[in-house]
Chains A and B, each alone.
Chain A
Amino acid sequence: MNEFLQFAAVVVGIFISFAMYTTLYGKPNPLRDWAEFSYLGAATGVSIVISLTYIYNTAILGIQAGDWILIFSIIFGLMMLFRMHPDYSHVSRLPLAFTVGTGLALSLRTQIFTSFIIQINATIVKLWTGVPLEFLYRLTIAISVITILTFFLYTMELSGPLLWTSKVGEYLMYIGFGGIFAQTFMGRLGLFVGYMESVTTPSWKVPYTLASAVICFIAAIIFDRTGLGQKLSAA
């Protein structure tokens, strides 16, 4: 790809990004919809190409390499397509059942170990290891997990000790949420900062970035004030 095209890609990318940021203004406007539809079109195109390439690399090449059994994958896949026609949609049930079955098996056969047993197992630890801080940690975890679990019991009236533990659980859960919210915010901020970092380095991008930001911001306001946004937006 030659210099100019790359440059163009960068600039368009920056502009379309800020067009998308005008979503934050919370009013319909064509810039945003343009960005939305561009993404919809392009992204769908990508996933078509990717899926078919995957089919080719895995199945077709596989069959050529003598993995005859893979022929089924093609057959099932084609049967899948019958969904599109209401009268023949029943044809797709076989592959559907097949994929659901395998998927189920895959998730179940490990689900139990990763999430359920291992997590429980990790909670069962020697509380007192001689290190006070360690003790604090482990004790808190044990208590929290148990109490919070009781908060999520549904088929019985919460009363007596259960009521008490579930209340405690609820409070502990909110402490947890506080922490988790903060971590999540860090993550999201990280994404945003990271992206902004990439549109401000190398420094020649800066003017384009600032320009697009200003243009889109003003445009959003104008579209809103003049009511043009409502008129020109999609749907």
Chain B
Amino acid sequence: MAKEGGIYRLMATYDKRWVYVVLFIVVLGPLINPIGMPIGISALTKNYYAQLNTLQEGDIVFDTWNMEFSGYMELKPGVLATHKMFIEKGVKLCIAFGHYEGVALPGEIFKQLQTWLDRYDYREGEDYIIIGYVFPNEAAVAALAQDFHANVRVDWKGNSIEGTFLDDIQNAGDFDMISDYTTGLATTYMINHMVLQYGVPMVENSIGVSVPGHLANLDAGLLTALLASTRGGAELEYLIGSPGPGLKSMDAFTLGHYSLMIFIIVGNIGHYGWTRRTGAKDRTGIK
């Protein structure tokens, strides 16, 4: 580093691809051989746990998987932990997808839950029904909220849903709770057309990106509980005492955050050591 400016210059103007390399390493490393660092439990998650505990056996929950497969990757811990609670409580689930990739989810999710399904003898058709991809757009959501059976006649495999526990459902108001797992697809529409119109309590399982928005909704009383991202999922796993993917990925989480912070510190040193002295310009919108 004989160049003028030396180490400071490097700190200010390193090739950002180094960030990528480091991030890859700190994430893959701990996943391949975990370290097992301790974690803290946030108030949000405690509330979520409490809300789910209000459910009684036989309650019907509208279980909307508003996620692509990508979103599932982040929500996985929360999804699994939540469903473990549902199964344990013997809650009836009406499962809907908010994205066509949904058809890939049940296989994946219920494979993960197999032991629990067997333990509580939880069966498709009796305890849970998958009505498939029913939310292509807002109109569809609104229509379904208004008249369930006019819009859902068969489940995702084409079997009629007559004569199941879904007969009790006329409109969205007949659900005891909406449990949503969202990457932000149909969720807003559901809040508009189900929560606002029929006042169904709705618990949200949100990817980190949508968390700020949903915090506002929570505060405004549109949501009753919020589980934030993988972190929340891991905490829930901790609360229900069944460690899963969430807790496993927490190390990677910690390191990922720390590495970004280190980069920020380095950047600032570089900024004072080089950028500020030479008046060179960082390329960013924050002037």
Contact = CB atoms under 8 A, between A and B. Distances in A.
Interface in B86-120: 100-101
B142 A194 contact: no
Contacts of B197: 110
Contact of A110 (B28, B32, B192, B257): B192
A54 B136 contact: yes
A183 B24 contact: no
A186 B28 contact: no
Contacts of A209: 28
Contact of A190 (B23, B101, B136, B231): B231
A213 B24 CA distance: 10
Contacts of A206: 32
A113 interface: yes
A180 B216 CA distance: 12
B133 interface: yes
B208 A122 contact: no
Given A196-B27, A197-B31, A190 B153 contact: no
B228 to A, nearest CB: 8
A25 interface: yes
B36 interface: no
Q: Which of A49, A107, A190, A200 has the most CB of B within 10 A?
A: A190
Nearest to B232: A190
Given A106-B142, A110-B193, A194-B249, A187 B27 contact: no
A195 B231 contact: no
B138 A191 contact: no
Main secondary structure of the interface of A (DSSP, over half): helix
B192 A196 contact: no
B183 to A, nearest CB: 9
Interface residues of B, number: 57
Contacts of B150: 62, 67
Contacts of B257: 185-186, 189
B100 A47 contact: yes
B221 interface: yes
B273 interface: no
Contacts of A230: none
A66 to B, nearest CB: 11
Contacts of A122: 216, 219-221
A54 B133 contact: yes
A201 interface: yes
Q: Which of A50, A119, A180 has the most CB of B within 10 A?
A: A50
A145 B32 CA distance: 45
Given A50-B100, A187-B208, 7 more contacts: A61-B153, A184-B212, A190-B74, A197-B73, A198-B76, A198-B245, A213-B28
Interface of A: 24-26, 46-47, 49-51, 54, 57-58, 61-62, 65, 67, 102-103, 106-107, 110-111, 113-114, 118-119, 121-122, 174, 179-180, 183-198, 200-201, 206, 209-210, 213
